[in-house]
Amino acid sequence: MFDALSDRLEAVLDRLKGRGTLSESDVDEVLREIRLALLEADVNFKVVKTFVARVRERAIGAEVSEALNPGQQVVKIVNEELTGVLGDQSAPLELGSASPAVIMLAGLQGSGKTTAAGKLAAHLKKKGRTPLLVAADLQRPAAVDQLKVLGARVDVPVHAPEPGGDPDADPVAVAAGALKEATRVGAGVVIVDTAGRTNVDDAMMEQATAIKRAVDPVETLFVIDAMIGQEAVTVAKAFQEAVDFTGVILSKLDGDARGGAALSVAEVTGRPIKFASTGERLDEFEAFHPDRMASRILGMGDVLTLIEKAEETYTAEQTEELSDKLLGEGTFTLEDFLEQMQQIKRMGPLQNLMGMMPGLGKELKDVEVDESDLKPVEAIIQSMTPEERRRPEILNGKRKKRIARGSGRSAQEINELLRNFEQMRQMMEQMGGAAAGRGGKLAQAKQMRQMQKAGAGGGMDMDALMSQLGGSGAGGAGGPALPGGAGAGAGPGGGAAPQRNKRVPPRKKKKKKGKR
């Protein structure tokens, strides 16, 4: 998501890392780079100005000059300011007690309102609510059909004007009529999709205001494309004036847009970004986590999201079985590896998962990975006998040749896979062993927290882990280097880590509660 921006900051801050003292001109140099990075990330230039001024004020103060490691101190400030602008924590939907609770969506043409409406319906349904979708976009040809199709996919009823009815149906009337319909079908939440409109089209903006007045929503969400440029500010302000939105949905965040609009909109409207739309599948829609996003900007990965995804994908038995393997006598075999790979596929596009890995983003930023890339790995393992999968050490030249023939991959690739697997297994044993060795659940939980901390804060454990992994991956000739320093990408975060560490576990718990 914000990879490119984090790259820029990393490059600057790498230079300052380890610098004993930081002069005012050093600070200015960093700030210049930060300014450029933010501008290139499409943060509005006025927002950049105020942001940089705030960072400067703090950076040239005692905070930095007296710090042990000024470079890290600057990162910390930037991180805190980013978090400050984006909000301190993810803002939940506040549907209140009204029944039905109405959510209205508004935004420019093509920002992804209709898709977001479908995703929001799926999201709420998953949480046990009973949504009703309302097609109040009568402007764009077939927008009503689109919403109907999406409604059918997520199994949510859609209220739309009668087909063949009044060709000049009034979206305000349709939206207002939806409230009655909601009571009739017993829907607890009404999601009103509206037509895209440009901020200078006065008539259309007034219509949006009228729809809002008619349905009296508890939440008005402004949908904005993550790829939008400097205009984000003007557009957001205009929509704030017209419909006074309560939150923002940032769409198309799965592209390579730097997403500076997130900063711009949050800064000028003061409204929280509530959701991020991260893919074309209807379940690729998640709560926006400003702290994670700030971490991403600074290249610290997004392990918390990864943990959540894992929690959603793995059942309790699967989790137990797996932890038994790692903690108990069982060993992690290629069979398990294959199984885990299938499981991970269910967690969403591999590309997105990789983006969440601390320290990995930088090196793998330009690498496109999708499920088809797993095929060679699967093919190799599937060409092995069960015995070979359990005990890969018995693989000799003859067996490898057979596997190569069976899978259509080269012997070199097979060796590469085995080498990766062996390293992976060793690390798992270390982790498992350490956890079990210390005995007792408490020690294990501590270990686990360390893992989380390491991930979120760019601490040492994960760095070492990742660099080792990265190193093994880059072993082959010709491949783009995944340098041993893959973990170093997360390095600059070190300074900020201790502070965040304290927050991580409680945040996670809170999050879980909020889900219900």
Partner 1 sequence: MEALDPVATGLVVVVVLLVVGGVAGFVVRGRGGRDGSTRQAATAPAPEREAPAPEREVEDGPAPAEAEEPAEAEEAAPPAEPAPLTPMERFRARLGRSRAGLGSGLLALFRRGLDEAAFEELEERLISADVGVEATMEIIEGLRERVRAEGVTDPEQALALLKEILRLELGVADRTLARREEGPTTWLITGVNGTGKTTSIGKLAARHARDGETVVLAAADTFRAAAIEQLSSWGERAGARVVKQAEGADPAAVAYDGWQAASAADADLLLVDTAGRLQSKRALMEELSKVKRVLEKGAGHTDEVLLVLDATTGQNGISQAQAFQEAVDVSGVILTKLDGTARGGIVIAIQRQLGIPVKLVGLGETVDDLADFDVDAFVEALFADVAQDVELGGEDPADREP
Site for partner 1 in 46-105 (CB under 8 A): none
Stretch in the footprint of partner 1 (CB under 8 A) among 13-21, 81-89, 134-142, 210-218: 134-142
User: In this structure, what are the phi and psi dihedrals at residue 219, rounded to the nearest 5 degrees?
Assistant: -130, 130
- SS3 assignment, position 193: strand
Rg from Cα positions in the chain? 25
Task: Kindly state the smallest distance separating residue 479's Cβ from partner 1, in Å.
Answer: 4
Q: Is 513 in the site for partner 1 (CB under 8 A)?
A: no
Tell me how many degrees the CA angle 26-28-33 measures, rounded to the nearest 5.
Answer: 100
Q: Choose, by CB under 8 A, the member of 15, 56, 129, 148 that binds partner 1.
A: 148
Give me the 403-432 binding string for partner 1, x by CB under 8 A, dash otherwise. Answer: ----------x--xx--xx-xx--xx--xx
Q: Is 357 in the site for partner 1 (CB under 8 A)?
A: yes
d(CA 329, CA 80): 45
Q: Choose, by CB under 8 A, the member of 60, 354, 395, 460 that binds partner 1.
A: 354
* Total residues in contact with partner 1, by rule CB under 8 A: 138
Q: Is 209 in the site for partner 1 (CB under 8 A)?
A: no
Q: Is 163 in the site for partner 1 (CB under 8 A)?
A: yes
- SS3 assignment, position 103: strand
**To 10 degrees, what angle do helices 316-327 and 411-437 make?**
90
Task: Kindly state the smallest distance separating residue 74's Cβ from partner 1, in Å.
Answer: 21
Given the complex with partner 1, which of 100 and 416 has the nearer CB atom? 416
Residues 287-306 that bind partner 1 (CB under 8 A): 303, 306
Q: How far is CA 278 from CA 131, 259, 327, 348, 436, in A?
A: 21, 12, 35, 10, 37
d(CA 298, CA 303): 14
Q: Choose, by CB under 8 A, the member of 67, 173, 210, 341 that binds partner 1.
A: 341
Q: Choose, by CB under 8 A, the member of 263, 353, 381, 496 that binds partner 1.
A: 353
d(CA 77, CA 16): 14
Nearest to 137 by CA among 111, 169, 164, 165: 169
Given the complex with partner 1, which of 210 and 282 has the nearer CB atom? 282
Contact present, 422 and 367 (Cβ < 8 Å)? no
Contact present, 178 and 192 (Cβ < 8 Å)? yes
What secondary structure letter does DSSP report for 366?
T
d(CA 516, CA 510): 11
Task: Kindly state the smallest distance separating residue 275's Cβ from partner 1, in Å.
Answer: 17
Residues 230-259 that bind partner 1 (CB under 8 A): 230-232, 234-235, 252, 254-258
Give me the 176-205 binding string for partner 1, x by CB under 8 A, dash otherwise. Answer: ----------------------xxxx----
Q: With residue 250 as reference, give the H or E element that holds it.
A: strand 247-251
Given the complex with partner 1, which of 20 and 128 has the nearer CB atom? 128
Q: Choose, by CB under 8 A, the member of 152, 185, 411, 464 that binds partner 1.
A: 152
Given the complex with partner 1, which of 20 and 370 has the nearer CB atom? 370
What secondary structure letter does DSSP report for 158?
E
Q: Is 331 in the site for partner 1 (CB under 8 A)?
A: no
